[in-house]
Amino acid sequence: DDVRLFGFVRFTTGDAMSKRVKFALITWIGEDVSGLQRAKTGTDKTLVKEVVQNFAKEFVISDHKELDEDYIKNELKKAGGANYDAQTE
């Protein structure tokens, strides 16, 4: 809980009619990270974004509950636009 981390994660989202690959950029800031280190996160994230430029959604997380795979997939699905689940009946 005293570290800052950046993650780039790939998920396959969509439904039976439309599968899509989505990427998420995750910034983890532990609860015990000092104020100075928190301030440096913005500068460091700018450098990360120079390398990782293509992602559907960005997450800034400090709670372990938000690292849940289903939560992230659901947020990516919302960011993905059209939802064709209703057509599978």
What letters, b where the CB count within 10 A reaches 16 and e where it falls short, cover 1-28?
eeebebeeeebebbeeeeeeebebbbbb
In the chain the domains, ranked by start, together with CATH numbers, are 4-81 (3.40.20.10)
What pLDDT does residue 82 have? 60
> pTM of the entire structure?
0.81
What pLDDT does residue 78 have? 82
34-78 per-position pLDDT tens digit: 999 999 999 999 999 999 999 999 999 999 889 999 999 888 888
Please determine, for residue 86, whether its predicted confidence score (pLDDT) is greater than 70.
Answer: no
- Spell out the residues 6+ positions from residue 89 whose beta carbon is closer than 8 angstroms to its own: none
How far is Cα 87 from Cα 51, in angstroms, rounded to an integer? 38
